Amino acid sequence: MDKIHIPVLLNESLDSLSITPDGFYIDGTLGDGGHSIEILKKLSPNGLLISIDQDQYAIDFVLEYYQQYEAANWIITKSNFADIDRIACNLSPKRNPDGILLDIGLSSRQLEESHERGFSYQKEDEPLDMRMSNELGVTAKDLLIALSEKELSQLFWKYGEEKYSKRISKEIKENISNINTVGDLTRLIYKAVPAADKSINKNPSRRVFQALRIVVNDELGSLEKGLDNSFKVLKQNGRLSVITFHSLEDRIVKNYFIDKSRSGEGRMLFQKYIAPTDDEKRRNPRSASAKLRTLIKN
């Protein structure tokens, strides 16, 4: 993969932040840098952009790909956006952000260039790792070994909404000694899912891989913490914009924004959410399930 993936809802997310040239902004999910670089282009030398990612491979790519944009007012740091308040305080102690953008989910590069981490169910020879950062201790394979059949079933149902979670977890535990790679796991999942369902749904491994990745990286816990810390560190009338890709993430964001609105601490920019246009969906099928929500701090 020799080019950046297309930033989802790019213009809509930039508009939602209402960027001013001298403002301070945080991109909590750097990824391929598509959103970050467009924010940076709107800033003057007095503005500041902090971009965060826990994936060192993503940071290395951006530093090389965008080296011509190296600037004193663009700081890239390796961390989890859950700690965004601490990061903002350490890197810009005298300023509170005017806007924060979180683009939740896996990037195209992480799927296509996973660096032997097994994010994609199509990379059959890769190990079952799934850690965004090698500083995390537990891999996907560790979960398959350590959790009971019932616990795995609950995990696949809760985080992947997998209706055949019991059948899949039973097949996994009965063959656990033979599971070492992505291909080993996908073949067992394929065996457990009824033939009729295989013909009408996407790859039956998709939901299981999503569930394992979410738990390995504590993605939903990080999102909840990240939302709270982002809102806490925002300046008055600052904006928090979040792009989600599946219902579990979106439910957390939606409920958080509603709670802040009802309490009078914030107000939602959009009555509902912004979705990609039909044209964007055609150009970038990955954007199809994306939803953008924005909360303004009172």
pLDDT tens digit at each of 298 positions of the chain: 445 677 899 999 999 999 999 999 999 999 889 999 999 999 999 999 999 999 898 899 999 988 888 889 999 999 999 999 999 999 999 999 999 999 997 666 666 666 677 777 778 889 999 998 888 889 999 999 999 999 999 999 999 999 999 999 999 999 999 999 999 999 999 889 887 565 555 677 889 999 999 999 999 999 999 999 999 999 999 999 999 998 999 999 999 999 999 999 999 999 899 999 999 999 888 889 999 999 999 9
CATH topology of domain 137-216: DNA polymerase; domain 1 (1.10.150)
Distances (CA, A) of 176 to 141, 147, 158, 211: 9, 11, 21, 18
Residue 61 labelled as part of a binding site: no
Residue 209 labelled as part of a binding site: no
Residue 103 labelled as part of a binding site: yes
Taken in order 83, 65, 68, 19, is the CA torsion positive or negative? negative
Domain boundaries, the chain: 10-110+219-297, 137-216
- 3-class secondary-structure state, position 147: coil
Residue 35 labelled as part of a binding site: yes
Distance (Å, rounded) from C-alpha 80 to C-alpha 219? 10
Whole-structure pTM value:
0.90
Residue 110 labelled as part of a binding site: yes
Name residue 266's amino acid.
G
CATH fit for domain 10-110+219-297, picks 3.40.50.150, 2.60.40.10, 3.30.460.80, 1.10.3760.10: 3.40.50.150
